[in-house]
Structure 1
């Protein structure tokens, strides 16, 4: 969930660390897979499994909408519209899946295993681990099914908030896989990536025995190169939000363990430094970007870059997406135009095939 940006990422870290029990990560002193094992020991010791049915109780504090509509309804990543009214609005205990409905969106909500439960044969405690089992529209959950998460190239289905299913884009940071995948909206890509990093750390003593297209059969890297690159990119492009921090704290009260990659996002690149460095080295593509005039006086500005842009996204200071231009057309050589912005401070995210960069923009 994209609620914070580069200029306030330090504040995010302070906020998240402020909620961690004293000494919780004292033994997390290593790097690479040594650090991953240390985190496994921390988050696997003294845990509680409240049971699958208790997830609905956990969701009453972990997954309520206090961030968008701010009305206490179910926060579902597959139908939540970050910039306007949701098509689907669920109230806990009223629209819960009872074995009926689910033939279209907005009928029922249920429990979505971000890592499909078929991967681990619905065994406990994975089956009821709220750190990666989330409330979801029943119909959208079924459309995702057991598909891996990836970058959709050719769309064959889209949810009400823009989450989509289709063949994976076999190029750029998602190269190496061509079958169908499911892609959430940008707002929740980092959330899902950090759920995966939690899962492959929390269950690293078992995961090598599980078969899944995203996994490589090891207990250290766990993910194939393709899916590791996808999740690392999502993690880096979509920083930890207050919603994730609050969710982590709420789940801790029920399970007595935490998602370390929300508490300290740097753990990700401390464990996979080579892959992070490779992804970061691609940022030179967007180093020579000019945004002008800045400040803008009429809600309009231009972007010049030699890179071919795939997406232009503008976020307000609260982290809400206010405008998005997919596959923008240059009005002249290497120049793109953005307009119709109200007075305010914005973060401009520019994406190419392989990487992204964020710029600050002011409209007076």
Structure 2
């Protein structure tokens, strides 16, 4: 933060001295609590409310949302880009930075409805109520879409200031949520408390958006209420909120009572309920469809009083990955080797189940090809609605990127729909012999094909029917590419929007598979576990290896090194945190541990 603490406190003192709550504004609230207090506040903040229309928000932002607290440069104070402890990644000036169109962060700012306007059909006066509509970066606003606010477990998008979109880790909800940075979580909570109080009699006619309740009290779904109560407590009212509340009162004629009297929050809704109950254990864990380097797992779901959000997969006692479903494929294994697996269920509060049953599986010999090497059912894609954008997710250790894609269309449950975009995997071991996928034309007309590439070379095409919603399942055989592969499926046409589902492929090792496996075993790393951030590699012709990549066990690419052993056999891990990792090169792949 650029301003000194003294300057900050002087600003707070100025606000407190010259912008007090109007005398008698909250008359009639003494002694009330719960629904009665909420209804009384609804009456108070409805009186005097003047609707200046949607366009009036641009005028309001001239006084309600100026940065006179952090950089103190009078720019727009955007909670999705503000850095409270240092320089902002970018700034907007009032008026000149308004959207407009945007293609990336920092293009322009627009009007962000903290409670999405789609939930109340863009009706007045909600659509222009300054108390819950903030000026924010247009691109980040678009990413937030109409998702509820909550704690993110695995992020699919992170803004420049650390605001995140991703899978919910909030207790009781497993969908996609948006999480602001800590400095503005209380602000968001109090804006939503204002909304469900000001419009409590209309909630029954609104869409819930997985956040709003259908009745005046409590006005919010239980999971969202508990999350917002926690945020309101952790992030108390700030001078920024007080100044905005006063400016909003001058502009609109009513106030946010939860900024003026934070104690009203607990007087109405109480305190959040702590979740201390652990999930039950997952059961019936079984191994199936082994290949030379992977084994698939399936199990029966655990149960929880609030809800299970994920399962930790352990391989020979070490954490391999965390998944949300009840199936997974463990890859990067050695041929002809027996592995032991177990599962631990987790809930959003961090409670862990006892371990599941242990299941054993043995990989095939190195020269063999075997059943399914990998699958993608698209159940882990982030819910992004009908907008076409970049969609990124990780499943079974593989990270997928879909460009110009939407997520609201289905084939066998979730599917990914491409406009003029492509679906690309991260690097996958085991090679590829054949590929199978199901397609369906969702929008547009005419039959066509999708192009399939492996490692940048087209290996075939996948047709789709000209009949809308009809499904076509196609297998491309004899691809026969060994080693690490990257799979890419592209829609080359500009009109048809084609959905993809149930993608799978079989492994491939060429006739030299056994020799290659023996050769791979001639490489090694030491020390393992790694010490002093230095990983040494031994093996023949190291200087001919063109690339090395480091992944964590979730499949996330940590670093790519070009010509890594040109001058030495050492890799500097640059302070990797403790954990298990995979080193992949164009000659070998191996696991290592950082302690």
TM-score with structure 2 setting the length: 0.43
Q: Distance in 1 between matches of 2:275 and 2:28?
A: 28
Asked which structure has the greater CA Rg, the reply is 2
Match of 2:85 in 1: 83
After superposition, the Cα gap between the structure-2 partners of 1:16 and 1:38, relative to the gap in structure 1 and judged at 3 Å, is farther
| 8 A contact 1:155–1:165 mirrored in 2 | yes
Deviation track 1:88-137 (CA, whole Å, cap 9, x = no partner) reads: 21001111113xx3110001111000000000000010000010001010
Q: Distance in 2 between matches of 1:274 and 1:245?
A: 23
Q: Distance in 2 between matches of 1:353 and 1:238?
A: 21
Match of 2:230 in 1: 233
Match of 1:249 in 2: 246
After superposition, the Cα gap between the structure-2 partners of 1:270 and 1:277, relative to the gap in structure 1 and judged at 3 Å, is farther
Residues 127-276 of structure 1 aligned to structure 2 (within 5 Å): 127-169=127-169, 174-212=170-208, 213-273=210-270, 275=272
Deviation track 1:315-348 (CA, whole Å, cap 9, x = no partner) reads: xxxxxxxxxxxxxxxxxxxxxxxxxxxxxxxxxx
After superposition, the Cα gap between the structure-2 partners of 1:202 and 1:74, relative to the gap in structure 1 and judged at 3 Å, is same
| 8 A contact 1:16–1:263 mirrored in 2 | no
1:140 partner SS: helix
Higher relative contact order (CA 8 A, sep 6+): 1
TM-score with structure 1 setting the length: 0.70
Match of 1:69 in 2: 71
How big is the shift at 1:210? 1.2
Q: Distance in 2 between matches of 1:158 and 1:67?
A: 24
After superposition, the Cα gap between the structure-2 partners of 1:85 and 1:250, relative to the gap in structure 1 and judged at 3 Å, is same
How big is the shift at 1:15? 3.7
Residues 34-113 of structure 1 aligned to structure 2 (within 5 Å): 34-98=36-100, 101-113=101-113
Alpha-carbon RMSD: 2.5
Structure with the higher fraction of residues in helix conformation: 1
Match of 2:125 in 1: 125
Match of 2:416 in 1: none
Q: Distance in 2 between matches of 1:148 and 1:71?
A: 31
Q: Distance in 2 between matches of 1:109 and 1:18?
A: 28
1:41 partner SS: helix
Deviation track 1:202-241 (CA, whole Å, cap 9, x = no partner) reads: 0001012212201231211111111001000000000000
1:142 partner SS: helix
| Structure 1 runs not aligned, ≥5 long | 280-351, 355-364
After superposition, the Cα gap between the structure-2 partners of 1:190 and 1:129, relative to the gap in structure 1 and judged at 3 Å, is same
| Structure 2 runs not aligned, ≥5 long | 277-348, 352-595
How big is the shift at 1:83? 1.3
Q: Distance in 2 between matches of 1:18 and 1:268?
A: 22
| 8 A contact 1:64–1:73 mirrored in 2 | yes
| 8 A contact 2:227–2:272 mirrored in 1 | no
After superposition, the Cα gap between the structure-2 partners of 1:43 and 1:277, relative to the gap in structure 1 and judged at 3 Å, is farther
Q: Distance in 1 between matches of 2:193 and 2:18?
A: 18
How big is the shift at 1:39? 0.2
Q: Distance in 2 between matches of 1:257 and 1:216?
A: 23
After superposition, the Cα gap between the structure-2 partners of 1:75 and 1:205, relative to the gap in structure 1 and judged at 3 Å, is same
How big is the shift at 1:46? 2.3
| 8 A contact 1:88–1:105 mirrored in 2 | no
Q: Distance in 2 between matches of 1:119 and 1:240?
A: 27
1:214 partner SS: coil
1:20 aligns with 2:17: no
Q: Distance in 2 between matches of 1:153 and 1:138?
A: 24
How big is the shift at 1:278? 9.1
Structure with the higher fraction of residues in strand conformation: 2
